[in-house]
Amino acid sequence: MTNLSPHNWLDWAVQPPYLHPPYTSTVKRSPRSSLIPLGQSLAELTGPKFGEGDIHRLDNDLTKNSVQDGEPLGERIIVNGRLLDDSGKPIPNSLIEVWQANAAGRYWHKKDQHNAPLDPNFHGSGRVLTNKNGVYRFTTIRPGAYPWPNHYNAWRPSHIHFSVFGVNFLQRMVTQMYFPNDPLLSLDPIYNSTPNEAARQQLIAIYDHEVTQPNWALGFRFDIVVCGPRQTPFE
Ligand SMILES: [Fe+2]
C-alpha cells in the first residue's frame, strides 16, 4: 500500500525521505516531529499567476543572459520537456527556474570556493514559462561535476537544479536533472536517496536528437510530473 505524506500528495515509495543518513545534511535538517499541515486559502489556491510579463527575453538562454565579453565556455545544450499533472495533462503557463554550475563545476556563489575557474560569461541561472502545451525549453552549458564535503572523495554528478511551480502557487517543487551514462550517479547519495529505481530513472534526461541542432547544440528531454503515480522525485 502506498504510504502518503501528511500533505497527501507525496508518494514515499518513490520520493526521497527527509532523513537519508548517507546524505549527511539530512541528519541535521530533517524534521524530528510530525509535520503540521497548513490550511490553504482561496487566494493561495488561485494566485498569483505567472505570465510572459514576468520573464525577460534572455531568461531562457543561460549562454546569453550573463555575457560580459564573449561566449561562455563549455558544451552548449538545449533542454526541453513537458510539465504534466497526474493524468498526463500538460500544465501551461507555469514558471520553471533553473540554476547550475558552469562547465568547470563551479557555481557563481561566494560560498563555492571549489578550485575551478569561474566563467565571467556564465552565471548559471535562468527561468522559463511552459507554453500552452506544457512545454518548456532553455539553452545552457552542460554543467561540470564538482566535489562536495559529504564523504571522502565525493563528487556530484553533472546536474541542473529545477524549481517548478505546479497548478497553483503553493505547489513549488525542487528537483535535479541528471545526464545519461554518468558514472558518478551510482555513487551519489542525493540521487540514491530516491528509493525506487524507476523513479531514479525519471531524474535522468534523455538525449533528444530532434532537438539537437547541427553545428550548434545537443538536445536533452526532461519531463516533469508534479503529482500522481508517475510523480517526479523531489527534494
Ligand atoms: Fe548542485
pTM of the model: 0.92
> What is the Å distance from ligand 1's center to 140 Cα?
15
Between 9 and 198, the higher pLDDT residue: 198
Is pLDDT of 4 > 90? Answer: no
Range scoring the smallest mean pLDDT among 137-141, 150-154, 221-225, 230-234: 230-234
Take residue 5 and report the three cell numbers written for it.
505524506
| Mean pLDDT (whole number) for 116-128 | 97
Mean pLDDT (the chain) is 91
Q: Which residues are part of the catalytic machinery?
A: 107, 146, 156, 159, 161
> What is the Å distance from ligand 1's center to 101 Cα?
7
Range scoring the smallest mean pLDDT among 1-15, 40-54, 146-160: 1-15
> What is the Å distance from ligand 1's center to 208 Cα?
23
> What is the Å distance from ligand 1's center to 39 Cα?
32
| Mean pLDDT (whole number) for 116-138 | 97
pLDDT at 9: 64
- Write the single-letter amino acid at 80: N
Residues in the chain: 235
Is pLDDT of 1 > 90? Answer: no
> What are the pLDDT digits (tens) for 68-112?
999 999 999 999 999 998 899 999 989 999 999 999 999 999 999
> What are the pLDDT digits (tens) for 129-165?
999 999 999 999 999 999 999 999 999 999 999 999 8
Q: What is the 3-state secondary structure (H, E, C) of 56-121?
A: CCCCCECCCCCCCCCCCCCCEEEEEEEEECCCCCECCCCEEEEECCCCCCCCCCCCCCCCCCCCCC
> What is the Å distance from ligand 1's center to 163 Cα?
12
pLDDT at 168: 66
Range scoring the smallest mean pLDDT among 18-27, 32-41, 129-138, 150-159: 32-41
| Mean pLDDT (whole number) for 181-199 | 96
> What is the Å distance from ligand 1's center to 41 Cα?
33
Contact 97, 163 (CB under 8 A): yes
Q: Please state whether 126 falls in left (phi above 0), alpha (psi between -120 and 50) or beta.
A: beta
Instruction: For residue 160, give the nearest of 74, 92, 230 by alpha carbon.
Output: 74
pLDDT at 176: 98
- The percentage of the chain sitting over the pLDDT mark of 70, rounded to a whole number, equals 94
> What is the Å distance from ligand 1's center to 230 Cα?
24
> What is the Å distance from ligand 1's center to 87 Cα?
30
Is pLDDT of 65 > 80? Answer: yes
Query: Exposure pattern of 58-79 as b/e (b: 16+ CB <10 Å)?
Result: ebbbbbbbbeeeeebebebbbb
The model's confidence at residue 31, banded by pLDDT at 50, 70 and 90, is: very high
The model's confidence at residue 14, banded by pLDDT at 50, 70 and 90, is: confident
Between 228 and 194, the higher pLDDT residue: 194
Range scoring the smallest mean pLDDT among 24-28, 44-48, 163-167: 44-48
DSSP structure string for the chain: ---B-TTS--BTTTSPPS--TTSTHHHHHS-SS---PPP--HHHHH-----GGGS-TTTTBTTTTT-SSSPPSS-EEEEEEEEE-TTS-B--S-EEEEE---TTS--SSTT---SS---TT---EEEEE--TTSEEEEEEEPPPPEE-TTSTT-EEPSEEEEEEE-SSTT-EEEEEEE-TT-TTGGG-HHHHTS--HHHHHTTB-EE-TTT-BTTTBEEEE--EE-SSTTPPP--
